Amino acid sequence: MAATAGDESVHNYSYIFPFEQAWNESAFLKYMLERWTDSFVYAAIYYVVVVFGGQLYMKTRPRYDLRPALAIWSSTLAVFSVLGAIRTLPELVTAINRYGWQYSVCVPTYFQGVPAFWSALFTLSKVLELGDTVFIVLRKQPLIFLHWYHHITVLLYVWYSYTDHTAPGRWFMVMNYIVHSLMYTYYALRAMRFRFPKFISIVITTLQLMQMIIGVVINVLTYQAKARGEFCQQTYENLQYSSIMYFTYFVLFAHFFYTTYVIEKPKDESKKHA
């Protein structure tokens, strides 16, 4: 490869915002190295209080509508995701075009410059996204296993992976930003009582499923590079966790797609999150 892990950046942004330029990546990495295990605490509180406790609390109570709050919540996450996609996708595209596919999955230069700021926000956002479940519980909508399993495992994996600056995370982050841009925009408009044809929800679920398939492929490419003895910044332990995570997501999303759009009448799309 023509570039190394020490390159300053693979994309020269035409404009850098002051908050992106002032971002202290080394300080945030130090924080994550010391506190990444806090993600287990957040996950435990989320499950006990929101998933289990919330459902128990609402069992004998009437549902809350919460449409205005849900519209604001989803709109905020939609705007954040759109901005994240806009600021991280150029680096991924340039990495591929300039240095090739293997570079894009093996060299973590996205932790420098503009993408570093959005990588940190992406990591922190996985805690914020746990709030999605609060609306599902308080509105007494079906809370499926896929939803809370996905939220918990993504939170744990992203926080754990940040401490290693794993290179394939470049792909995982950009894909997630893009899919969430569409997904949360759809949820926000639905909360505002906009109505969409069935194929829109099918398209969003299909994109979620494709995200999982690409994740599996990226893990295979990473393993092949490491097996050849070439530099690829992801430990075998992390690769194992990532492979298990993406494969289980693929199975669960495929099952969801089949039961929702193939053999059953579509249910409320608000229970689908990725």
Active site residues: 150
Q: Are 90 and 203 in contact (CB under 8 A)?
A: no
How far apart CA 209 and CA 157 sit, in angstroms, is 19
123-130 long-range contacts, CB within 8 A, separation 24+: 123/32, 123/158, 123/159, 123/162, 125/77, 125/80, 126/39, 126/151, 126/154, 126/155, 126/158, 126/159, 127/39, 127/42, 127/155, 128/77, 129/77, 129/154, 129/155, 129/273, 130/42, 130/46, 130/50, 130/155
Report the Cα–Cα distance between both ends of the chain, in Å, rounded: 33
Amino acid identity of 116? Answer: A
